[in-house]
Amino acid sequence: MNFKVLGKTGINVSRIGFGAASLGDSRKESSRADSLRAVRAALDGGINLIDVSPYYGATEAERVVGQGISDWPRDQVIIATKAGRYGNDEFDFSPRRLVKSLDESLTRLNTDYIDIFQLHDVEYADLDYIVNESIPAIIRLKESGKIRFVGVTAYPIRTLRTILERAEVDTILSHCRYSINDTSIETLRPLIERTNAGLIHTSPFSMGLLTQRGPFQWHPAPNALKEACRAAADFCVRQGSDIAKLALQFSLQAEWIPTTVLGSSSPETVERNLRLAEEPLDQELLAGVRAILQPVLNLAWTSGRPENNDPQPTSGTRSGPKELNRWTARS
C-alpha cells in the first residue's frame, strides 16, 4: 500500500480508504460478521483510513467500525466520521448538536478521539451558518483533545469552493468529482493546493454509473449521462474487461489526490479492489471509454440547496436526502 500526506493535517493516509457506508445494512448476524471481516480485510491490506458517519445505517455503521478496530492499535487507524446529518431528511449543524454528536460517535466507535470530524453534506444548509457557527464550533472541540482535524463534505463544487475560501478547515471530502465521467474537482486544485486542505475523494464509480450492473433507478444523473455510462460499460464488456476496474484505476492514478475511498461490506470485494489497484491502467481501453463519455464529461446534478450549487446546473434532477441514503452502498 502506498501512502500520501493529507494536506495540512500532516498525517500519512493510504491511497485507498475504506468507506463504511454499507456497513449500516449489517444488523443480521451473518451480515455483521461479513462487515467485521471487511473492516479487518481493509486493515490487513494496509488501509489506514476509515470513513464513516452516524447517518449510515442509523448509527449502525459506526458501531460495526468500533467493533472491527477494537483489537487494532488505535494510532494505526485514522477514523474520519461526520456530524450534522442524521437521517433521510434530518440535518442539524448547531454547535450544541455537534458537540452531542461527537460524544455519541466516540461511544459507538469505542474511542476517546476522532482523527477527522467532518460536517456532513453541508450543501443542504445555509453556508453562512456553516462558516460562522458550525465550523468555529468544531474547531473549538480541538482544544478538548476529542478531535484532531476539522473537515467538511459536499457534492457541489461551488459549496466546496465557498468553504475553502471562507473558512479554516483541514480537509474536504468530495464524491463523484474525480471519475472517468467527471473530473471537475480539478477546477478546485489551485485553491486546494493554496489552502493545503487535505482532499478525500470518494465514489470513483459515480454512485454506480461506472459499473456493469449500472445505477439504481433513483440515481439523480440526467438520462444522457446514464445512457453514455451504460454504453461505456457495454464497450468494456466487449473488450473483455470491467468498467468498474477501469474506474477504480483511473481515480487512483491522480497522484495529487491523497486518498480515494471505496465502500464495501464484503471482505472479498475489499481484497479484489486492493488487487485491482496494483494492476496497470489499460490506456487503450480508457481512451475508448473517454471517447464515449466525452459528450457528457462533467455533466452533473443538483444536490442540496439550489443556491449552493454551481451556476446553471446541468441537470434538472435534484437528489434529495432519501435518494442519497440509497446510493451509499454502491459508491
Kindly give the interhelix angle for 243-252 and 283-293, rounded to the nearest 10 degrees: 100
What 8-state DSSP symbol labels residue 197?
P
Cell triple for 236: 468494456
- Compute CA distances 223 → 148, 226, 260, 268, 271, whole Å: 42, 5, 26, 32, 33
> How far apart are the C-alpha atoms of 266 and 62, rounded to whole Å?
16
Per the CB < 8 A criterion, the answer to whether 51 and 18 are in contact is yes
Cell triple for 257: 489526490
> Which of the residues are catalytic?
56
25 CB-near residues (< 8 Å, 6+ apart)? 31, 57, 60, 265, 329
Cell triple for 16: 485507498
